[in-house]
Amino acid sequence: MCVVCGCGDAKRNMPVAAGAGPASADDTLRLDFGAGAARVSVPGMSQARAIKLEADVLGANQRLADRNRAHFAAHRVSAYNLVSSPGAGKTSLLCATIGLLQRRAPGLPLAVIEGDQQTSHDAERIRASGAAAVQVNTGKGCHLDARMVAAAFERLPLHAAAHHDAASEIGALLLIENVGNLVCPALWDLGEQAKVAILSVTEGDDKPAKYPDMFAAAGLMVINKIDLLPHVDFDLQRCIDFARRVNPDIEVMLLSARTGDGLERWVDWLLGERPGAGGDSPLDRRVRDVQAHLRPVLEKAG
């Protein structure tokens, strides 16, 4: 349970009125429990108390995340935090990524931290794909925190070496698969270089609007399962427009972990090879997306 998502278990609370001004017919059909100062409603807890608790908890996590970030830098480890709903294809993408990285960057130390409430299924899949993995089970917890990642990192072979001999800019790569949840992991810094929000075309194309905190926190949105585009009603441009509305700087990538389409570009990104990154405007990026990426994919999808 965490105060961030309001999943406490006290007994009473009331919604804050939706919208300002005279109630419209629409307002009577919408209850907004996030309109208070804390932007979260926890039964039995005041808004001031919720803010204080969140600041304390996230502040403690931030100090540990900063320590992780320094620790990763000391080992020349680039760490990425993969977040999504359950079923968006995080583990499948990681398995495909490991295979491609072994061909593209043989010798690059690589490891995965897997977050799930229960089981070691995903860590077993990762190990079968050829990378070291530590499974973190969170029990009732709905996200990984910086302390969990620190404990997992110490158990990985990455931790045993400094990776100073590697010729590439990146000494080693650590991929963290967070618990499937588009809400809570948005606010928990793990010490990563960037959050990667993964969305699949079998989900709603308005998820960036429904879960804005996650897409605001992410540096990259990966749209997965594009091989299924001809079979689903997923509007790519609408999805990207929603994401850019909450985060004008978010990068966008389309791929299919199953077919391998788009995976080279994703691996380029992980390896720090990002043509055009930095310096160009959100509009430039959008034009580049459409010209260089969306159009061929849309043509292919028919």
Stretch that binds Mg ion, among 33-41, 84-92, 129-137, 230-238 (CB under 5 A): 84-92
Angle between helices 90-104 and 263-270 (to 10 degrees): 80
> How would you classify the pairing of strands 194-200 and 77-84?
parallel
Q: Please say which residue, 89 or 171, places its beta carbon nearer to Mg ion.
A: 89
Q: Please say which residue, 53 or 182, places its beta carbon nearer to Mg ion.
A: 182
Q: Please say which residue, 4 or 136, places its beta carbon nearer to Mg ion.
A: 136
Q: Please say which residue, 75 or 90, places its beta carbon nearer to Mg ion.
A: 90
With CB under 5 A as the contact rule, the residue among 54, 122, 189, 289 that binds Mg ion is: 122
What would the two tokens of residue 116 be?
Answer: 């799930």
Phi-psi region of 162 (alpha: psi -120 to 50; beta: other; left: phi over 0): alpha
User: Does 91 sit near Mg ion (CB under 5 A)?
Assistant: yes
Q: Which residue is nearest to Mg ion (CB)?
A: 91
Q: Please say which residue, 89 or 191, places its beta carbon nearer to Mg ion.
A: 89
CB 65 to Mg ion: min, Å: 22
CB 93 to Mg ion: min, Å: 9
CB 49 to Mg ion: min, Å: 34
What is the per-residue burial (b if ≥16 Cβ within 10 Å, else e) of 160-195? eeebeebeeebbbbbbbbbbbbbbbbbbbbbbbbeb
Q: 279, exposed or middle or buried, with CB in 10 Å at 0-12, 13-18, 19+?
A: exposed
CB 118 to Mg ion: min, Å: 12
Residue numbers 219-278 binding Mg ion by CB under 5 A: none
User: Does 84 sit near Mg ion (CB under 5 A)?
Assistant: no
User: Does 203 sit near Mg ion (CB under 5 A)?
Assistant: no
Q: Please say which residue, 90 or 143, places its beta carbon nearer to Mg ion.
A: 90
Other CB atoms within 10 Å distance of the CB of residue 56: 11
| Separation of CA 207 from chain center | 13
CB 120 to Mg ion: min, Å: 11
**Residue whose entry in the numeric block shows the structure tokens 């973190």:** 136
Stretch that binds Mg ion, among 115-123, 168-176, 207-215, 287-295 (CB under 5 A): 115-123
Q: Are 108 and 170 in contact (CB under 8 A)?
A: yes
Nearest to 4 by CA among 30, 43, 38: 38
Binding site for Mg ion (CB under 5 A): 90-91, 122
